Amino acid sequence: MADYALVVGDAMLRGRPGRYNIGIAGGKVAAIEAGSLRGDTEIDAAGNLVTESFVNAHLHLCKVYTLDRIGDDALAAYTGASMGAAMTAIELAAAVKEQYDEGWIEPNARRAVIEAVRHGVRHMLAFADVDTRAELRGIRPLLKLRDEFRGIIDLQVVAFPQDGLLRDPGAEELVRTAVELGADVVGGIPWIEHSDEDAREHVRRMCALAAEHGRKVAMLVDDAGDPALRTTEMLATEMIRHGLIGRGIANHARAVGTYAEPSVRRLAGLARRARLGFVTDPHTGPVRLPAFAMAELGVPVALGQDDIEDAYYPFGRNNMLEVAFLAVHALEAVSQPAMDRIYDMVTAVAADVLGVHSHRLETGGPADLVVLDGSSVREVLARHNPPRHVVAGGRLVAESATTSTFHLE
């Protein structure tokens, strides 16, 4: 009889020289030792890096693989000219919702969730449009997939009024219904409203709904290249006012990248008070949150995939190593310490932003880990291959290999 249900042997770990064996029992990491361990099942890491699994802190899961339905116009508007036309892009992209049907949304979303499992994603913040065009057709399939995949990948489903609240009468009632159906998080997109007053009202109503139902809030804030946009500040202020401290996530917040430094520092101070976490997606738009500056000011920042082959981004595989690889370039983070910080933004810090505070590879922690293709953070980023082995809840859930055959003579 072995001591452990599963042993991952001959593993390299971050920040620790030597090779280690990881003993897993009862869904937990029970031991990390240099000496050999015996398991009912044994995985040979073969000197590759083993870390906690990945976290995708932001994905529009109901619209994955819809780019071919919608065409390129919205994509061009969203990514062009410092994002001056980001609002127009959202209006163009909304056309896809005329076709919204659970019959194709569910298989598309399922395909993206399976890609996430293959790439070792264990937690995901998944947005579903809930508005007068999508109604509940976007969120129902995601709630179903959440229940089906729980324990392999945990989806936190956000009821997201993509077209605004005051701009889209009827959306608020639909978000309320989605929360009653079991949505985990109340969404919001205040910057898209037509005035600051409406934006503040939007934030207020969604925070009140979250507080009433014991939910978190996750909002798309200031998602354009305009320093006049201040809805991140509104989100932090209303979180404090509604007793939602530590229960909010600011997504995108691109306009912060155009603020003068005193404004960045003031916002960071307020975000610390509200314990507001941030998610940035530097590959999906030309304007971006100053991720390192915010992190240095004590604000947790995660990376998200954001989109997969939709009207806002033409690529994406739920591969957080690929997202991190792109962020290394976009954020000019090619030094080893910078790469390590980026790696934290798709693992432990991203988990903190989603309120999963135990997500660390350590004795007593959850047995959610990946055996990577490469022996260092730099090497796994360079290759951004899917993990060789993915362990979730102490169980092997996916394995991948890449092979090439040469015929050179």
Q: Residues 115-144: x/- map of binding to Zn ion (CB under 5 A)?
A: ------------------------------
Region from 154-162, 304-312, 322-330, 333-341 binding Zn ion, contact rule CB under 5 A: 304-312
Nearer to Zn ion, 167 or 272 (CB): 167
Region from 151-159, 185-193, 300-308, 319-327 binding Zn ion, contact rule CB under 5 A: 300-308
Nearer to Zn ion, 59 or 264 (CB): 59
Q: What is the DSSP letter of 367?
A: -
Helices (H), 9-101: 67-70, 73-79, 86-93
Region from 21-29, 109-117, 299-307, 340-348 binding Zn ion, contact rule CB under 5 A: 299-307
Distance in Å, CB of 316 to Zn ion, minimum: 11
> Taking the CA atoms of the chain, what radius of gyration do you get in angstroms?
21
Distance in Å, CB of 252 to Zn ion, minimum: 6
For Zn ion, the nearest residue by Cβ is 306
Distance in Å, CB of 24 to Zn ion, minimum: 35
Nearer to Zn ion, 251 or 319 (CB): 251
Please state at what angle helix 231-241 crosses helix 261-274, rounded to 10 degrees.
30
CB-based contacts of 169: which residues, under 8 Å, 6+ apart?
Answer: 132
Q: What is the helix (H) or strand (E) element at residue 114, kind and residue range?
A: helix 102-118
Distance in Å, CB of 294 to Zn ion, minimum: 17
Region from 42-50, 98-106, 306-314, 394-402 binding Zn ion, contact rule CB under 5 A: 306-314
CB-based contacts of 72: which residues, under 8 Å, 6+ apart?
Answer: none
Amino acid, single-letter form, for residue 233: E
Distance in Å, CB of 213 to Zn ion, minimum: 23
Distance of alpha carbon 401 from the chain centroid: 25
| Count of CB atoms situated within 10 Å of the CB of 35 | 7
Our finding on whether 306 is near Zn ion (CB under 5 A) is yes
Our finding on whether 309 is near Zn ion (CB under 5 A) is no
Rounded Cα distance between 140 and 163, Å, is 18
Q: Is 149 helix (H, G, I), strand (E, B) or coil?
A: helix
Distance in Å, CB of 127 to Zn ion, minimum: 7
**Contact footprint for Zn ion (CB under 5 A):** 306
